[in-house]
Amino acid sequence: MKRSSLLRVVGGATMALLVLAGCSSTKPTDTTTSAAAGTTTAAATSAASSAAGSETAGSATGGSETAGSETAGSETAGSDAGSAIPTPSKAAKDYKISFIQGVTGDNFYITMQCGIEEQAKTLGVTVDTQGPTKFDPTLQKPILDSVVASKPDAILIAPTDVDAMQAPLAAAAASGIKIVLVDTTVTDPSFAVSQVSSDNVGGGAAAFDAIKQLAPGGGKVLVISTDPGVSTVDARAKGFNDAAKADGSYTPLEVQYSHNDPATAASLVTAALQKDPDIVGIFATNLFSAQGAATGIQQAGKKDAVKVVGFDAGPDQITALKDGTVQALVAQQPGTIGVDGLNQAVLALDGGETTPKIQTGFSIITKDNVDTTQDAYKANC
Ligand code: T6T
């Protein structure tokens, strides 16, 4: 099989913080971790470490949010060399591959789907996409069951819960279907041929750095997340709160959960601001939490007083950034996650070498670079 090599260097944290500091807004490249043969391929630069200013910088570039990963802790060796990920140029045959989103109608997964569909054309494989109407394992599992019953060659999936999706996915893999985890993961992902996700711990730490720059005097900070048990947002909350604690001038309040519902996120924010009117910053860990947080800030009349940083960069978040309700966005690279995930599925099906863990970067979007960024998510392909 003919393969080309893709070189990935320098983690998102470095570029993200350079952008916040008003430096070049060059599109960041990905940081990639390969667990293959126990080797370390992450590109952790000293710039990333110093920019993030704490040990979370290590995870910012190292991809350790999947707890217990053998690669954790060893990949921040300080190499600038980057890593070569084998990628296929064409599939050996027209494989049937299913992509199961975390939730439908989410600009993040829509953008991922666009990347997957585009790459499917290049590779010559057939992909179908579906997902639950809510980010909920009780809705996602039946979809997985029916996809498995249709006997695809491979499944790309964003599991909606680390525990609830564990057994069904392990069973699907045991039946011979190649499983690639995209975005989120499960408690024991060892059945998967590959996992592709953002640097979520690092993204959370970068969000704290953004709050710190926006509200340098310190004070109470609040994380609005979706649900416990969602690997990505849990890692972002941890990255943020660990960085806040390490700083010493900020007091992280207890994480509040919106169940991925913007209206709930809005009321959590208004209630929190009533209880603690001295909150200086809010970090919303995903698109729908950020959307709700923006509404809550407006309802509370705190638009200028409280600084808000949100993960994700859908059209609504970009609007909130432009109108000043939100001050910074951590934009992931969902299209790249999709492309990488499909490549890994095809490599596995063709009997090639896969990369067990791939970590993609992120960038920070502020008012300063919002008009030039290439990282905003798509509403459709
Ligand atoms: O933030 C993304 C994704 O990374 C996360 O796992 C769930 O929420 C999003 O889809 C945004 O809504």
Ligand 1 atom closest to Cα of residue 184: 6
Within this chain, do residues 223 and 285 fall inside the same structural domain, yes or no? Answer: yes
Count how many domains the chain has. 2
Within this chain, do residues 327 and 205 fall inside the same structural domain, yes or no? Answer: yes
| pLDDT of residue 361 exceeding 70 | yes
Within this chain, do residues 204 and 295 fall inside the same structural domain, yes or no? Answer: yes
| pLDDT of residue 215 exceeding 60 | yes
Contacts 24+ apart (CB under 8 A), 244-247: 244/208, 246/54, 246/55, 246/56, 247/54, 247/208, 247/212, 247/218
Read off the pLDDT of residues 176-203 as tens digits, 9 standing for 90 and up. Answer: 999 999 999 999 999 999 999 999 999 9
Q: Determine, yes or no, domain membership for 205.
A: yes
Section 26-41 average pLDDT: 30
Ligand 1 proximity of 232 Cβ (cutoff 6 Å):
yes
Read off the pLDDT of residues 327-359 as tens digits, 9 standing for 90 and up. Answer: 999 999 999 999 999 999 999 999 999 999 999
- 151's CB contacts (< 8 A; 6+ apart) are 96, 177
| pLDDT of residue 64 exceeding 70 | no
Q: Determine, yes or no, domain membership for 352.
A: yes
Which structural domain, as residue segments, surrounds residue 134?
A: 96-197+335-359
Read off the pLDDT of residues 84-108 as tens digits, 9 standing for 90 and up. Answer: 788 999 999 999 999 999 999 999 9
Ligand 1 atom closest to Cα of residue 312: 1
Q: What's the CA-to-centroid distance between 333 and ligand 1, angstroms?
A: 11
Ligand 1 proximity of 208 Cβ (cutoff 6 Å):
no
| pLDDT of residue 65 exceeding 70 | no
Section 158-178 average pLDDT: 98
Residue nearest to atom 9 of ligand 1 (CA): 286
Within this chain, do residues 126 and 156 fall inside the same structural domain, yes or no? Answer: yes
Q: Determine, yes or no, domain membership for 171.
A: yes
pLDDT cut 70: percent of the chain above it: 78
Within this chain, do residues 167 and 257 fall inside the same structural domain, yes or no? Answer: no
Residue nearest to atom 1 of ligand 1 (CA): 286
Within this chain, do residues 266 and 354 fall inside the same structural domain, yes or no? Answer: no
CA end-to-end distance (rounded Å), the chain? 30
User: What pLDDT sits at residue 133?
Assistant: 98
Read off the pLDDT of residues 35-50 as tens digits, 9 standing for 90 and up. Answer: 222 222 222 222 222 2
Give dist(CA 305, CA 321) in Å, integer: 15
Within this chain, do residues 103 and 161 fall inside the same structural domain, yes or no? Answer: yes
Ligand 1 proximity of 286 Cβ (cutoff 6 Å):
yes
Within this chain, do residues 184 and 232 fall inside the same structural domain, yes or no? Answer: no
- 349's CB contacts (< 8 A; 6+ apart) are 91, 92, 95, 153, 154, 178
Section 165-182 average pLDDT: 98
Q: Determine, yes or no, domain membership for 376.
A: no
User: What pLDDT sits at residue 55?
Assistant: 26
Q: Which residue has the higher pLDDT, 271 or 30?
A: 271
Lowest mean pLDDT across 48-52, 244-248, 254-258, 353-357: 48-52
User: What pLDDT sits at residue 304?
Assistant: 84
Q: Which two tokens stand for residue 54?
A: 């704490």
Within this chain, do residues 110 and 175 fall inside the same structural domain, yes or no? Answer: yes
Q: What's the CA-to-centroid distance between 93 and ligand 1, angstroms?
A: 32
Q: Determine, yes or no, domain membership for 373.
A: no
Ligand 1 atom closest to Cα of residue 106: 12
Q: Determine, yes or no, domain membership for 305.
A: yes
State how beta strands 363-365 and 328-331 pair: antiparallel
User: What pLDDT sits at residue 83?
Assistant: 59
Q: What is the mean pLDDT of the chain?
A: 83
Our CA angle for 49, 51, 55, nearest 5°, is 40
Nearest in space to 66 (alpha carbons), one of 206, 183, 214, 221:
183
- Rounded to 5 degrees, φ, ψ at 213 are -70, -35
Within this chain, do residues 345 and 307 fall inside the same structural domain, yes or no? Answer: no
CATH number at residue 268: 3.40.50.2300
User: What pLDDT sits at residue 33?
Assistant: 33
CA atoms within 13 A on the CB side of 27: 11
User: Which of 112, 183, 285, 317 has most ligand 1 atoms within 8 Å of CB, for mutation?
Assistant: 183
Q: Determine, yes or no, domain membership for 236.
A: yes
Within this chain, do residues 146 and 192 fall inside the same structural domain, yes or no? Answer: yes
Helix then strand then coil, % of the chain, to nearest 5: 40, 20, 40
Instruction: Specify the residue for token string 């959590």.
Output: 268
Section 114-131 average pLDDT: 98
Q: Which residue has the higher pLDDT, 66 or 281?
A: 281
| pLDDT of residue 69 exceeding 90 | no
Sheet with 194-198, strands from edge to edge, namely: 126-130, 96-100, 154-157, 178-182, 194-198, 357-360
Section 225-250 average pLDDT: 98
Within this chain, do residues 192 and 262 fall inside the same structural domain, yes or no? Answer: no
Q: Determine, yes or no, domain membership for 371.
A: no
